Amino acid sequence: MAKIAFVFPGQGAQYVGMGKELVENFEVADKIFKKASISLGYDMKKLCFEGPEEELRKTENTQPAILTASIAAYEVLKKHGIKPELVAGLSLGEYSALVAANVISFEEAVRVVKARGKYMQEEVPLGVGTMAAFIGLDREKVIEACNRASEVGIVEPANFNSPVQIVISGEVKAVEKAVEIGKELGARKAKVLNVSAPFHSSMLKGAGEKLSKELNKLELHNFETPVIANVTADYYGSVSLVKELLIKQVSSPVLWEDSIKKMIDEGVETFVEVGPGKALSGFIKRVSRKVTILNVEDMASLEKTLTELSK
């Protein structure tokens, strides 16, 4: 039997209206949004369905909102009897994966990611750090660009998303310098991104330390589904590693391409992106053309996915 993996999106996947159709059609999805509102003390439906976009874009709102929309979609799939053999999530999405694996309760996760967003945003003053994306430059050359640019400041690889897309992170001047060098080294495209902080760089170590206090409050349960960790691109060996790897994840590169390859090596033939957007589907397509890639974020994508999986 071919294995199915669920993958959960990270920050940047948000949009006004996410989750609305599923909530209107499924009580299990509605319940998740209600739980989020009670846990956080504000109306999650209003934030996700009505925005405004600039509110939804604030990191400490974005993170719990995407987690909520993702787990609502997950509950709908579960209701239809679709269960994954493996789960993973990109950055913030790793929390959705851990909720899906029943390691962390949704109510606790939504509070932790709100704090995570806040700490990540506050750690580096606005305008000091940024990120940039390289298209069509292999990882050795991206690392070389970062090493050469580091003479003007901190700059490091942050997300190894796919064989053709790698994101770097660090101080503005150093990131801009790395972009210049990357273009010289043959990048098809290299541009600074419109982000508010240098996510997944060593500049966010302090945010990880603050987050550790929140993670220490969590009650962790045994894995019901194996989870691939961003930091190692391998299985969480045990529950005792969860806090340590989630703290590291804030200031370490996300090994997404490696994680996808690991899941394919483990026999995964179908990936379902669960939650808003299709960014992960695009990355997976770049890693392998042989796997089936589906997504669930609204009624149309749900119906398509259910039809495909019933074949």
pLDDT tens across 8-17, in order?
Answer: 999 989 999 9
Q: Are residues 72 and 152 in the same domain?
A: no
Question: Is a pLDDT exceeding 80 seen at residue 1?
Answer: no
pLDDT value at 168 more than 80: yes
Report residue 286's pLDDT band, with 50, 70 and 90 as the boundaries: very high
Same domain, 178 and 305: no
Task: Please give the positions annotated as active site.
Answer: 91, 200
pLDDT computed for residue 311 by the predictor: 83
One domain for residues 41 and 181: no
In percent, how much of the chain has pLDDT > 90? 94
Arithmetic mean of pLDDT, 113-130? 94
What is the average pLDDT across 284-306?
Answer: 97
What pLDDT does residue 235 have?
97
Q: What is the CATH number of the domain that holds 258?
A: 3.40.366.10
Q: What's the pLDDT tens digit per position in 74-93? A: 999 999 999 999 999 999 99
Last residue of a domain, one of 195, 225, 250: 195
Stretch 96-113: mean pLDDT, rounded?
A: 98
Residues 27 and 108 in one domain: yes
Q: Which domain holds residue 20?
A: 3-123+203-309
Rounded CA-CA distance 308/301 in Å is 11
Domain total of the chain: 2
Which pLDDT band, with edges at 50, 70 and 90, does 237 fall under? confident
Q: Three-state SS string across the chain, please?
A: CCEEEEEECCCCCCCCCCCHHHHHHCHHHHHHHHHHHHHHCCCHHHHHHHCCHHHHCCHHHHHHHHHHHHHHHHHHHHHCCCCCCEEEECCCHHHHHHHHCCCCCHHHHHHHHHHHHHHHHHHCCCCCEEEEEEECCCHHHHHHHHHHHCCCCCEEEEEEEECCEEEEEEEHHHHHHHHHHHHHCCCCEEEECCCCCCCCCHHHHHHHHHHHHHHCCCCCCCCCCCEECCCCCCECCCHHHHHHHHHHHHHCCECHHHHHHHHHHCCEEEEEEECCCCHHHHHHHHHCCCCEEEEECCHHHHHHHHHHHCC
Confidence class of residue 196 from pLDDT cuts 50, 70 and 90?
confident
Q: What is the pLDDT of residues 227-236, one digit of tens each?
A: 999 999 999 9
pTM over 0.85: yes
